[in-house]
Chains A and B, each alone.
Chain A
Amino acid sequence: GDSVTQMEGPVTLSEEAFLTINCTYTATGYPSLFWYVQYPGEGLQLLLKATKADDKGSNKGFEATYRKETTSFHLEKGSVQVSDSAVYFCALSESSSGYALNFGKGTSLLVTP
């Protein structure tokens, strides 16, 4: 079945450091890929998405490129801020699973001043 594997945290970075959170997936078809973010005390929010191979999703300085050849969707940001501290979830969705989101276990990011 479909699955998502993302790097385990917690990840601790200094402000302005470069961020990469790795995500790889297994799917039977052609899924859409997502990054969701959960800030402390808040609900899950969509950060960015890509619906086909080679698409790049971007939002708030974060980027991720849908790589079909490596079945990956790594999240990157060039310069993190303290306000980026949150838990980040990689997810996929495809029609064979009824479009429900299939999430990774989440990666906790802490950015220190």
Chain B
Amino acid sequence: GAGVSQSPSNKVTEKGKDVELRCDPISGHTALYWYRQSLGQGLEFLIYFQGNSAPDKSGLPSDRFSAERTGGSVSTLTIQRTQQEDSAVYLCASSLGPGAGGNTIYFGEGSWLTVV
């Protein structure tokens, strides 16, 4: 379909390994968001990309987390030296433009990460 696509859908990794999570936003959407959904923690904002502007990284929990968005489309969230507390569902979302008030934000189904 034409929705937000995320991969992998499930990932089990050993503590200390690096992981990459990929997001394909809806074609033409200039805004892209990453969120983390943990049990008991709700939905936590991580990072926001808008067009060619510098990303808003204010939600990244530590310097082990980074994200990039190539060509204004696909985004990769990288977690280095994973820890057990990184286990969560990582959600990607996109919208046609900035501002959720005027633009509906569409979410992918998420990447389930388990660190063992």
Minimal beta-carbon separation of A73 from chain B (angstroms): 13
Among B42, B45, B91, B109, the residue within 8 A (CB) of A42 is B109
**C-alpha gap A100/B50 in the complex (Å):** 11
Residues of A within 8 A of B99 (CB): 32, 93, 95, 99
A93 and B100: CB pair below 8 A?
yes
Residues of A within 8 A of B104 (CB): 46
Interface assignment of B102: CB less than 8 Å from any CB of chain A:
yes
Convert B71-110 into 0s and 1s, putting 1 for each residue whose CB lies closer than 8 angstroms to a CB of A.
0000000000000000000010100001111101111111
**C-alpha gap A100/B103 in the complex (Å):** 11
**C-alpha gap A106/B38 in the complex (Å):** 11
Residues of B within 8 A of A51 (CB): 101-102
Residue of A nearest to B55 (CB): A98
B42 and A100: CB pair below 8 A?
no
- Given the interface pairs A43-B107, A43-B109, A43-B110, the reply to whether A89 lies near B43 with Cβ below 8 Å is yes
Count of chain B residues near A, Cβ 8 A: 29
- Given the interface pairs A32-B101, A105-B42, the reply to whether A45 lies near B107 with Cβ below 8 Å is yes
B45 and A101: CB pair below 8 A?
yes
- Chain A interface category by residue count: 20 to 34
Minimal beta-carbon separation of B17 from chain A (angstroms): 26
B100 and A32: CB pair below 8 A?
yes
Residues of A within 8 A of B106 (CB): 46
Residue of A nearest to B59 (CB): A100
Interface assignment of A35: CB less than 8 Å from any CB of chain B:
no
- Given the interface pairs A46-B105, A93-B100, the reply to whether A99 lies near B48 with Cβ below 8 Å is yes
Residues of B within 8 A of A34 (CB): 100
A104 and B42: CB pair below 8 A?
yes
Residues of A within 8 A of B108 (CB): 43
Minimal beta-carbon separation of A47 from chain B (angstroms): 11
Interface assignment of A82: CB less than 8 Å from any CB of chain B:
no
Report, nearest first, the 3 A-B pairs whose CB atoms are least far apart: A32-B101, A105-B42, A93-B100
| A→B interface (CB under 8 Å) | 32, 34, 36, 42-46, 49, 51, 89, 91, 93, 95, 98-106
